Amino acid sequence: MLRTHTCGELREEDIGKTAALCGWVHRRRDHGGLIFIDLRDRYGMTQVVINPDQPDVFARAETTRPEWVLKITGKVRSRLEGAEREENPTGMIEVSVEELTVLNEAKTPPFEIDDGQPHHSTGAVPMGAAPSMGTVNEELRLQYRYLDLRRARMQKNILLRSKIFQIIRDHFSREGCIEVDTPCLIKGTPEGAREYIVPSRLYPGEFFVLPQSPQQLKQLCMVAGLDRYFQIARCFRDEDQRGDRQPEFVQLDFEMSFCEQEDVQKIVEGSVTRVLAECSGKPLQHGKVGRSTWQEVMDRYGSDKPDLRYDLPITDISSLCDGCGFEVFERALANKGTVRALRVPGGAALTRSEIDAWTEIAKELKAKGLAYILFTKEGPKSPLLKFFKEGFLEKLMEATGAESGLPAEAPAGAKAGDALFFGADAFRIVCASLGRIRSEAARRFDLIDTSIHSLLWVTNFPMFERAEDGSLTFSHHPFTSPNIDEWKRRKEDPLFVHSVCYDLILDGYELGSGSIRIHDRVLQQEVFAMLGIAPEDQKRRFGHMLEAFTYGAPPHGGFAYGIDRLVMIVAGELNIREVIAFPKDQKAKDLMLGAPSRVEEKQLREQGIKIVTG
């Protein structure tokens, strides 16, 4: 090795030793004829001192610039009194340099590597709100990702990611699972997202796809008798990007045989709570993992992935609105819809532009608008009030707990009154719009308790839902087992049937999803038929699964959760790209490597591909 110690290793007990260090120049300072260099590697940072008594060494030190790679050899000594830095593990010592070798020079980086964070490894991980990356353009950071990864914050995130991988592998190995790696060139699966396709040179006109998940393969592992399977699987989805999505990502994939829902949940929950306990430092809300049904969270929070670190419940006021005088409410009920209200404490302080912005959000979610009442110091204000029959407003206030603001003569800065926001439409539209406004209100009024984690199981999802064209589609995937007691009603009322499915929600993010699977060929064919998949298409697309089920498939279930997203939450980041070493940008491009890119015409001919534009 070129070094005897890392830059984060030396302590007071090493004083008097000769040490060789290698690393990058983080900072260089000239003070009183001495040159001080903070030498950095991923383990930490050590101050090294160059004295002019050694002219050759001093001359080389004078030429060094940030990010040059050096090797130094020297004696470890105490820092001068008053110069100690107790917050740095190496802050009580320095190295008096006797030899200095420039291993490599560096151009001036396109942005500062010094992000102002401590650059030492203490085993701690970032928590809470993510610190700012300053004014550095993200595209520039992604273009020079190998430089961006030198930053303390990014290195902490990558180290955290590695630690979480190790915890997950250890947990599932302890649970008796076999780690099985599955292929990335497979047959297409209907899992809701667009697939990446790979042409086959040997079979012109035919294609592989990159897996959205190893769903069918892990079920086939159960048919194979492997009993308990896991892997950290790389998955691919060609979908529009957002802060917590990437076109390729990794997930914990788990499957087990001869189990019930609670058995799967117990093992999965154990892995996530262990990650939180060892990496986050934040306790669980109420000290436990919550449990609710899909219907319960949709009714109360308007979302199947609610953030419970704040309350803000939604109130069903349908029973109050029959004959209330407001045509929008009454028409929604006549069309078998629902009317619901969200109380926002202090919401009367919202400006008109803020309410307009929230209204546009509701419209994007298919609501026709966003009706509201502001309970100001001067009294209730709303365009709705003139339509309400006498006494209806008081019923609303009683049902929702809405409070008026303090009187007009109250001192400046006194608490503003509440606001009520309304949804009146089909159940899912009302839930989607008010659920999103609930999240916006929590952020606007700083209601989220960021000192805790909210971890919640949501169960008993509908088996089917209606697509935009009115056809029936699956809520999760077509291999999810229905509630057998309800299955007999599938033809007369398919939306009545629930699935044996369960999602795990962490701080308002859907961390992952699982289910008890179908293991019976006949039941699987019945589910396919409900989805409008003809028998010949069943055989063409899923013949391998149906055939496998004729050879003694055991009852089985499983789960998968996104590791990138879990790392993002634990790290306190708002964007999943901050916890992936080499991510794609928001347009699914690799700015560092320049991908995707054109290929040579010869390769296209070999693949039987012709590019058609226009």
Name the CATH superfamily for 154-259+552-606.
Answer: Bira Bifunctional Protein; Domain 2 (3.30.930.10)
Specify the pLDDT at position 115: 79
Query: Any idea which residue has 């309410």 for tokens?
Result: 355
Yes or no: domain 12-104 corresponds to CATH 2.40.50.140: yes
CATH class of 290-536: alpha beta
Residue 241's pLDDT band (cuts 50, 70, 90): low
CB 294 within 8 A of CB 459: yes
Q: How far apart are CA 121 and CA 186, in angstroms?
A: 41
Stretch 570-580: mean pLDDT? 95
The DSSP bridge partners found for residue 293 are 459
Peptide bond into 345 cis (omega under 30): no
Q: Which residues of 184-219 are buried (b: 16+ CB within 10 A; e: fewer)?
A: bebeebbbebebbeeeeeeeeeeebbbbbbbbbbbb
Specify the pLDDT at position 114: 87
Q: Where are the domains of the chain?
A: 12-104, 154-259+552-606, 290-536
Q: Does the global pTM surpass 0.75?
A: yes
Specify the pLDDT at position 121: 56
Strands 93-104 and 44-50 turn out to be: parallel
Read off the pLDDT of residues 395-438 as tens digits, 9 standing for 90 and up: 999 999 998 765 555 444 446 799 999 999 999 999 999 999 99
The secondary structure element, H or E, covering residue 545 is helix 535-548
Helix and strand numbers, DSSP H then E, in the chain: 17, 22
Strands 455-459 and 501-506 turn out to be: antiparallel
Least Cα distance to 591 among 238, 137, 111, 142 occurs for 142
Average pLDDT, the chain: 93
CB 322 within 8 A of CB 328: no
DSSP one-letter string for 462-478: BSEEE-TTS-EEESS-T
The DSSP bridge partners found for residue 35 are 30, 50
Alpha helices (runs of H) in 27-150, residue ranges in sequence order? 55-63, 138-143, 145-148
Stretch 564-577: mean pLDDT? 96
